Amino acid sequence: AGSLASPPPMLPSRLLLLLPRRRLCWPSLTCAYSAGGGPSMEKPVEAAIRAKLQEALQPVHLEVMNDSHMHDVPRGSETHFRVAVASRSFEGLSLIHRHRLVNDILQEELAGPVHALSIQAKTPQQWEKHPAVGRSPPCLGGAKHDPHVASKVGKRD
């Protein structure tokens, strides 16, 4: 578990982005990532994804990671996400049905601002055995040629 300590108050906010990111876990075992160990600086889409999954699945573990910075999108975009979620709701469901459940919960985000969503959906027992979150593959730039993505993210900085 990480620390809930705030970063040193003398650092300008732009310098906080240069500090190492620490993993923060709250009593619900819901985790977030934050620069310098302070409160998470979630954006609206990320916050909506987290809240909807938390409410619908009551997970024992949840991580929502914005990977937009790894893609050819404007700075500050919320278009590419990874979620790792362990929930009793997945017990007895095949992997495809777990992914469909997550997609159904996030249908509004997937129809709007979210272009890509990587899902790791595990039961609590599976999470206990393998508590690792997969890494995102490198961006191959495929979205550059997709006119639907351009309308979602606008022009590049």
54 vs 33, higher pLDDT: 54
**pLDDT value, residue 75:** 87
86 neighbors 122 (Cβ within 8 angstroms): yes
Determine the Cα–Cα distance for residues 157 and 87; give it in Å rounded to an integer.
38
Which residues contact residue 136 at a Cβ distance below 8 angstroms, ignoring those fewer than 6 apart? 67, 70, 80, 82, 118
pLDDT band for 32, please (50, 70, 90 cuts): very low
Q: Which pLDDT tens digit goes with each residue over 44-101? A: 999 999 999 999 999 999 999 999 888 888 888 899 999 999 999 999 999 999 999 9
Determine the Cα–Cα distance for residues 105 and 59; give it in Å rounded to an integer.
13
Determine the Cα–Cα distance for residues 85 and 82; give it in Å rounded to an integer.
10
**pLDDT value, residue 22:** 37
